[in-house]
Amino acid sequence: MYGTIAKLKVKPGALEEIRKMETGRQPEGYIGSYVFQSDQDANELWLVAIFEDKETYLANADSPEQNQEYRSMRQFLWSDPEWHDGAIVFASEPLKQPC
């Protein structure tokens, strides 16, 4: 498995706008994603996106659909996200219930 962890600095009041952008799009190789909200700063989010492998992750990252989603989201952020890509080397059981 492969994916990214991204730190997002959201403009005040924009969290709901970002939440509305969830399209349900399921690109090839996509397993799932999670978004955490920091306890210290409600405008700081941490996105975790998981793909089957590096190839499907990169194909999605380079797709026009992902570029459009990113450009739409970017207007609600103070700055570009801080991306940390890498291989997932171990994991525990997936969540059993929705957030």
pLDDT digits (tens, 9 = 90+) for 13-41: 999 998 888 877 899 999 999 999 999 99
In a domain, 34, yes or no: yes
In a domain, 63, yes or no: yes
Per cent of the chain over pLDDT 90 is 78
Say yes or no to pLDDT of 12 above 60: yes
In a domain, 64, yes or no: yes
Rounded average pLDDT over 81-97: 85
Total domains, the chain: 1
Report the first-to-last Cα separation within the chain, whole angstroms: 22
In a domain, 83, yes or no: yes
User: How far is 43 from 91, CA to CA, in rounded Å?
Assistant: 27
Cα dihedral across residues 89, 61, 21, 74: positive or negative: positive
Residue 77: give the domain boundaries.
Answer: 2-87
In a domain, 92, yes or no: no
pLDDT band at 55 (very low <50, low <70, confident <90, very high): very high
pTM (predicted TM-score)? 0.86
In a domain, 96, yes or no: no
In a domain, 58, yes or no: yes
CATH at 25: 3.30.70.100
In a domain, 93, yes or no: no
